[in-house]
Chains A and B, each alone.
Chain A
Amino acid sequence: MTGLRYVYAVCRPFGAPLQAQLTGVGGAPPALLHHHGLVAVVSTVPEADFAEDALRARLEDLDWLTATARAHQGVIDALTTVTTPLPLRLATVFRDDSGVRTMIEAREDEFRRTLDRLEGRVEWGVKVYADIAPAQPERPAAKPASGRDYLRQRRAQTRSHENMWQKAEEFADRLHRLLSERGEDSRLHAPQNPALSGVSGRNVLNAAYLVPRAHSEEFVEIVDRAKDETPGLRVELTGPWAPYSFAGDAGAQAPREGEREGAREGEGGEGT
C-alpha cells in the first residue's frame, strides 16, 4: 500500500519522547523527521484518503473532517507539552520524506525566525458569551392602557435590552484590553456560530492571546477573576494551545510564491 506524508508541525529537536500510544490522522503513530536542525512531525496517511481528488471529497464529509481535525489537534497538543511546535494547517501532505525535506530547506530561515519568536509561549483562547434573552415586543409586562402606554413600555424594553448589549460589549472590550496588556500579542477571531460550538448565549468576544508559559498561571488567574464579574456574561477559557493564531502571521513574511495562486483573497492573513 502506498502512503503519503502528512505533516503536523515543525519544531526544534526536543529531548522528551512523544507519548507511546499517541496516534495521528487515520490512527498511524507520528514520527519525527530530522533535517537541517529542525524536526518535522509526520505520519503516513493512505493515498485513498489524501490524494487530491479523494481528499477533496473527504473534506466534504463533516464526520471525517471532525475526526481528522481532532487527530491533528491531538498531535499538536502532545507536542505542546514537550516543546513549542509551529502547527501547520490541516492536511499539509507530501508524496514522501524527500518532499518534506525540500520544504524544510526552502523555509528553514522563516521557520527559525518564527520558532524564536514563539519559543516558550502558548496560546490561550478567551471567549465571552452573553445570555441575553431577545426583546419580546409582542408581550408587554402589563396590558397597556393606551397607545401612549404601549409606546412607553416598548421604549423601556428596548432601552433595557440595548443597555444589556452595551454592557456586554463594554465588558468584552475591557476584558480584551486587560488581557492584551498581559499577553505579548493577541488576535480577535470571528464570533463562533452556536450551531457548531453547541454553546448557548451569544459569542461577543472570541480572542486568542500569546502568553509566555511562565506567565500562564497569572494570565489564567486574571481570566478566572473576570468570570464572576458580571451576571449574564460568561467567560470561557481554553488552552493552553500551540500558538496556532500567531504562527502564520502574514505581517511577518512576504507572500510566498506558489501559495497565492488559486487562493482566496486574504489567504494567510489574520484578523487584527
Chain B
Amino acid sequence: MTTPSRLPEPYAQGGGANLADILERVLDKGIVIAGDIRINLLDIELLTVKLRLIVASVDKAKEMGIDWWETDPALSSSARRDELARENAELRERLARLEELELGTGRAHREET
C-alpha cells in the first residue's frame, strides 16, 4: 500500500514516522465519536497488554493496571531502589551461606584431628 506523498518533510524518517508513532495517534488520540458502527478500539483483543501499552497514555495505562515502567529499573527510580535492595538481600544471603559453609568445614576439620 502506498502512503500519499507529503509536502517537504525532512523530520520523519523513511517517508513517515514509525508505526508506534502512527498507532499511538490514530488509535488513542483524536476525537472519539460513536459512529453507526460501534467498536471500542480498546476492547479489541489484539490491543491487549503490549499494544494497549503502546497506545494508551500513561494515566490511562495505569488505570488499566498497566504499569510495567514502574517496575522496570531502567525507567523508574523506585524500581532501581528495589533492585538494589534485592541485590543487597541476595548478597547477605550468600554471605550467610558462605559463613555456614565455613563453619561446617571448620567443624569437620576439628572432628578429623
Contacts and interface: CB of A to CB of B under 8 A. Distances in A.
A64 to B, nearest CB: 10
Interface in A223-272: 237-239, 241, 244-245, 247-248, 258-259, 262-272
A259 B34 contact: yes
B104 interface: no
Question: In which size bucket is the chain A interface?
Answer: 35 or more
A248 B31 contact: yes
A190 B53 contact: yes
Nearest to A72: B26
Nearest to B81: A162
A197 B21 contact: yes
Interface in B1-42: 1-7, 11-12, 16-42
B75 A81 contact: no
B21 A191 contact: no
A268 B32 contact: yes
Interface of chain A: mostly helix, strand, loop or mixed = mixed
B51 interface: yes
Contact of B26 (A89, A165, A192, A199): A89
25 contacts: A19-B5, A23-B4, A56-B39, A70-B1, A70-B3, A74-B3, A74-B4, A88-B31, A88-B33, A89-B29, A90-B26, A91-B41, A93-B37, A94-B35, A191-B69, A193-B50, A197-B18, A204-B75, A244-B30, A245-B29, A264-B40, A266-B60, A266-B64, A271-B59, A271-B60
Interface of A: 4, 7, 10, 19, 21-23, 27, 50-52, 55-56, 59-62, 65-67, 69-78, 81, 86-95, 99, 103, 107, 114, 125, 132, 134, 137, 151, 158, 162, 165-166, 169, 187-193, 195-199, 202, 204, 220, 237-239, 241, 244-245, 247-248, 258-259, 262-272
